[in-house]
Amino acid sequence: MPPRRKPIATTPRRRPRQERAQVTRDAMLIAVERVLARHGVAGLTTNHVAEIGGVSIGSVYQYFPNKQALVAALIERNLAQFEASFHQVLEAERDTPPERAIVAMALALRTTFHGQGKVHLELIEQVGALELTSMIEAALKRMIGTLSRYLAGNPRLAVRDPDLAALVIVRAVEGVSRAWPDRGEALDEEALARETAAMILGYLPRRPS
């Protein structure tokens, strides 16, 4: 029986409590994005992050034990940003026609990944390696719940099973986000956002006016 692989440490050593510390941590994560965009995960080192982020290597290790923890923190940050945007869109558009809400949601997806195709692909490939699937699944479950409540409460829609419809939509959008970088930098992000919105709107039944 092969020896059990030791889990990779991805938990940060500390989290910022003051604004100045948060700025330092943000600079590190921005630096991680820049290194990933240029060199991929294979070229990511803590020294690169310190140099590009304008911080000392000691500061990097003060917050993160290794480069894997830096990548995990970037995945967590990007996921939190998209989840927050998702919730904000549905809250802001809850009393508007569903066409407007769904288009706004598709544009939020586009904004999240704008110009970050290579970085996004690198991060997706690291989710399994860093054993972060449970974190992704928890966020998706919350978004499914948020969307289900929106579908159930919208008087313009005739969705029989809001929970199931929300599951289908969120998983479909997840699939789009995973495939986003496959066509490279030539991908028309505006067109993809429109097609994503059209797919969702075509799936949702309306009440007779």
Cα dihedral value 90, 72, 51, 22, nearest 10:
50
The rounded distance, in Å, linking the Cα atoms of 26 and 68 is 16
Q: In angstroms, rounded to a whole number, what is the distance separating the alpha carbons of residues 140 and 29?
A: 23
**Amino acid 1: pLDDT:** 47
Strand ranges (E), the chain: none
Which is nearest to 30 in space by CA: 57, 10, 50? 50
Per-residue model confidence (pLDDT) at position 8: 65
pLDDT below 70 — which residues of the chain?
Answer: 1-9, 112-117, 179-189
Spatial contact of 167 and 144, defined as CB atoms under 8 Å apart: yes
Q: How far apart are CA 39 and CA 20, in angstroms?
A: 29
pLDDT of residue 9: 67
Quote the pLDDT of residue 85. 87
**Predicted local distance difference test score (pLDDT) of residue 188:** 67
Give the pLDDT of residue 163.
97
**Shortest CA distance to 203 belongs to which of 155, 160, 165?**
165
Helix (H, G, I), strand (E, B) or coil at 157: strand
How many CA within 13 A on the CB side of residue 167?
4
